[in-house]
């Protein structure tokens, strides 16, 4: 049973949902983030790669660290690879070192299938070779290797949850595809399809993701596991579904493909199924909830 948990990146989109879920379970979360936490919880401002951010927590007892803090933009990682290295590699090492020094038994990482890159058969599994296409993907692969080393050397349970595209309420200001489509539907931003739009992606609802992070921390699981809905959708089909939900016919233009963009993300759910890690919200229902939340935010 979890009692005290550190959440890095706990002021962010997924982190805020994890913090909320922990509170509902009666767990005391402590947040480390560059930004202030959305909820009234103990929090510390700073980057995880800065050892000073961890100083106030030294010597205290914690059951787990849920590690979400990261630079997540693929395109920005291409522009500034050193910045993404500092947060995602050096920062992850600071997380693991804090756990080692303070006897924290479990660390759960937010990872990504971008650590794998493209596969020969188009299906990503946990045993696929790591051949990342971008600095972002390479930093997540490096963090997975660090986690494996700390598990084998120091006995810390390290679960690496390779997430697909996470979406849901409160993601209004993010630069990912769904909020950009929503802004486009409201005439408040541009949206272009890279290439022919046939590249496919898997989308998973944020509440399912938050629950899964907590489950892995409670179990003290050590594994790499891909997690998503298991059903991939093309960008063109996502545009059509957004048109249906929003009631606005969307007709974005097409531009040249971007360097480092994966042509398809189709994941195997075999390991997550074996672990009992399920999803409960399908894409159409989740998009409708997210659209309603987007409109409430816009009106408020």
**Whether residue 194 has pLDDT greater than 90:** no
**Whether residue 23 has pLDDT greater than 90:** yes
Condensed to tens digits (0 to 9), the pLDDT of residues 161-193 reads: 999 999 999 998 888 899 999 999 999 989 999
**Whether residue 264 has pLDDT greater than 80:** no
Strand bridging mode 232-234 / 200-205: antiparallel
Residues 6+ apart with CB under 8 A from 251: none
Bridge partners (DSSP) of residue 157 are 106
**Whether residue 18 has pLDDT greater than 70:** yes
Query: Over the chain, what is the mean pLDDT?
Result: 94
Go through 130-156 and write b for each residue having 16 or more CB atoms within 10 A of its CB, e for each that does not.
eebbbbbbbbbbbbbebbeebbeeeeb
**Could you tell me the CA-to-CA distances from 290 to 78, 164, 172, 178, 295 in Å, in that order?**
29, 17, 9, 9, 9
**Whether residue 103 has pLDDT greater than 80:** yes
Q: How would residue 121 be classed by pLDDT, with cut points 50, 70 and 90?
A: confident
Q: DSSP labels for 239-280?
A: HHHHHHHHT-----EEEPPPTT--SB-EE--HHHHHTT----
- The first and second tokens of residue 85, run together, are 């290295």
Strand bridging mode 28-33 / 42-45: parallel
Structural domains present in the chain: 4-299 (3.40.50.720)
Tokens 């040249």 map to which residue? 256
Q: How would residue 263 be classed by pLDDT, with cut points 50, 70 and 90?
A: low
Q: DSSP labels for 171-196?
A: -TT--SHHHHHHHHHTTSS--EEETT
- Phi and psi, residue 100, nearest 5°: -65, -50
Q: How far apart (Å, rounded) are the C-alpha atoms in residues 229 and 211?
A: 14
pLDDT in the model for residue 59: 95
The answer to whether 233 and 285 are in contact (CB under 8 A) is no
pLDDT in the model for residue 44: 97
């Amino acid at each position: 049973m979890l009692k005290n948990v550190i959440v890095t990146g706990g002021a962010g989109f997924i982190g805020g949902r994890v913090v909320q879920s922990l509170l509902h379970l009666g767990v005391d979360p402590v947040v480390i983030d560059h930004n202030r936490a959305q909820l009234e919880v103990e929090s510390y401002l700073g980057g995880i790669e800065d050892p000073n951010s961890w100083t106030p927590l030294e010597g205290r007892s914690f059951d787990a660290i849920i590690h979400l803090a990261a630079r997540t933009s693929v395109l920005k990682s291409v522009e500034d690879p050193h910045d993404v290295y500092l947060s995602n590699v050096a920062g992850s090492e600071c997380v693991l070192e804090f756990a080692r020094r303070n006897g924290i038994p479990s660390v759960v990482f937010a990872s990504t299938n971008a650590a794998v890159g493209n596969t020969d058969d188009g299906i990503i599994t946990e045993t696929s070779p790591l051949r990342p296409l971008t600095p972002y993907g390479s930093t997540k692969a490096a963090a997975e290797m660090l986690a494996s080393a700390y598990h084998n050397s120091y006995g810390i349970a390290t679960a690496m949850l390779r997430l697909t595209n996470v979406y849901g309420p409160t993601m209004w200001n993010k630069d990912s595809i769904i909020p950009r489509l929503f802004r486009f539907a409201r005439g408040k931003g541009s949206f272009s399809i890279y290439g022919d739009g046939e590249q496919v992606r898997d989308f998973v609802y944020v509440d399912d993701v938050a629950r899964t992070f907590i489950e892995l921390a409670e179990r003290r699981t050590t594994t790499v596991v891909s997690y998503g809905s298991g059903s991939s959708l093309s960008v063109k089909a996502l545009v059509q579904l957004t048109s249906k939900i929003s009631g606005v016919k969307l007709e974005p233009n097409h531009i040249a493909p971007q360097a480092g963009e994966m042509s398809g993300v189709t994941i195997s759910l075999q390991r997550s199924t074996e672990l009992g890690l399920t999803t409960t919200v399908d894409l159409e229902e989740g998009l409708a909830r997210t659209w309603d939340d987007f409109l409430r935010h816009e009106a408020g």
